[in-house]
Amino acid sequence: MLSSALSPQSWPFSLEWLPSSACLVGGAVRDALLGRQAETLDLDFVLPEQAVQTAQAIARHYRAGFVVLDAERQIARLVFPRATADFALQEGVNLETDLKRRDFTVNAIAYSPHQDELIDPLQGHADLQEGIIRMVSSSNLREDPLRLLRAYRQAAQLGFRVEPETRVALKTLAPLLADIAAERVQTELNYLLRTVGGAPWLRAAWQDGLLEHWLPHSTEAGLTQVETFEQLLAELGDRWPALAPALNQEVSFSNAQSSKKELVPSHRTWLAIAKLTCLLAPEADAAEAELLRLKMSRAEVRAALLFQQFLPTLKAGLPTRRDRFFFFQAVGPAFAALAMLAIASGTPIDAIAPLLDHYFDPTDPVAHPQALLSGRDLMTTLKLPPGPQIGQLLTHVQVAQAEGLITTQADALDWIRAYLAAPPSPWEAPIPQAEGLGSSKKLC
């Protein structure tokens, strides 16, 4: 009955370890009925008794990771190499009562693996076939208002529509979202922001008042920019195949000036943070306050403020190879998202295209200069003492390389010798202090 991806034969443990009363529930059943495949299995089981003990026995036998997520409600998780399985104690006197406490009918379907049958008291399967997100009840949404935001996210992910009565309830209950923990809200927002084609549902959430508390500066113009961003990604993917992978990388900083905390990758992608930036206050201090209120990580706050800081420069233009070199050095892996933001906000594609060509060519000396010399080379060959001058000279070499003046190590050494013999004139442009990923103002 279910797709093979979630048949018991594909599970990381044998069906015999589950009591006959155990049922698979929630998103695993929904996605199986829709034929949606995932790289890893995400299983949720409900048991009328001994949920934690059953999980513990399976973990012990299969040497799986085991953690109790909620001792009071008896919820445990098993972690396998390519699957996770949650085991929860049934809520209510029977399975039907448990299902009637869930958010939407499409998530209130159970599957009995021992009986090979669906248990569907709320006709969720029919709503799946019709592509409808329908609430189980407004009281269930009120019980956990995060479910309000989840409706838009699941509509986006599944390509469904929200049933009219449910949409009315979402609007009515929208103010309750202000009472939800920031960490939970930003996680749900992130799912929506990183969903391909999620922009129309982000707009719907804004229209229905769900963004009013957490993103009070979101506007019609900002939402239009998010929609344009998504359209551009679809249109430009053939021209720059590396664009989507670059945008879907998790936010991280490798700049030597970054703190150890900031070197840890975020769980948010450059794509999601760029879209979020479109919905923030235009002033850096106010935007930072919004991000911190959402409990975004240091890396995520830094990424959003970097977009705000460098977008005007990119839109104004980078006419010389020298300008482009220092810009690439400053923004690092944020460039692809910055370029998309610039185009989405009105900069002609032809103005940004040469920069994208630079960026997506790993051998390009402007965007990705290969070191022709090391500090040791300078100190050994030219008998220079260690100190700040070494770093400055290496930067001069990279600029000359970007400008096409030198291409080999011998060229670089000759260029440095000539530079040291004849110091720059007062009219020579100085090396700018690149305000890069690790050198923007101190955050949090």
Same domain, 92 and 143: no
- DSSP E strands in 120-255: the ranges are 132-133, 161-162
Evaluate if residue 432 carries a pLDDT over 70: no
Pairing verdict, β 83-89 and 132-133: unpaired
Residue type, 197: G
Domain of residue 42, CATH code: 3.30.460.10
- Cβ atoms of 367 and 361 closer than 8 Å: yes
3-state secondary structure of 395: helix
Split at pLDDT 50, 70, 90, the class of 387 is: confident
- Cβ atoms of 29 and 13 closer than 8 Å: no
Same domain, 254 and 305: yes
Same domain, 107 and 119: yes
pTM: 0.86
Question: What burial letters (b/e) apply to 72-83, b meaning 16+ CB within 10 Å?
Answer: eebbbbbebeeb
Q: Which of 113, 130, 147 is the last residue of a domain?
A: 130
Number of domains in the chain: 3
What's the whole-number mean pLDDT along residues 376-395? 86
What's the whole-number mean pLDDT along residues 374-392? 86
Same domain, 260 and 183: no
Same domain, 32 and 67: yes
What's the whole-number mean pLDDT along residues 53-61? 97
Evaluate if residue 220 carries a pLDDT over 60: yes
Strongest mean pLDDT among 38-47, 290-299, 419-428: 290-299
Supply the pLDDT for residue 253. Answer: 76
| Each residue's pLDDT tens digit, 231-267 | 999 999 999 999 999 999 999 876 543 544 444 456 7
Supply the pLDDT for residue 431. Answer: 55
Structural tokens at position 120 = 């569907």
Supply the pLDDT for residue 132. Answer: 98
Residue type, 39: E
Pairing verdict, β 23-25 and 75-80: unpaired
Domain of residue 204, CATH code: 1.10.110.30
Residue-range definition of the domain harbouring residue 152 = 132-208
What's the whole-number mean pLDDT along residues 49-76? 95
Same domain, 68 and 161: no
Same domain, 15 and 115: yes
Same domain, 111 and 19: yes
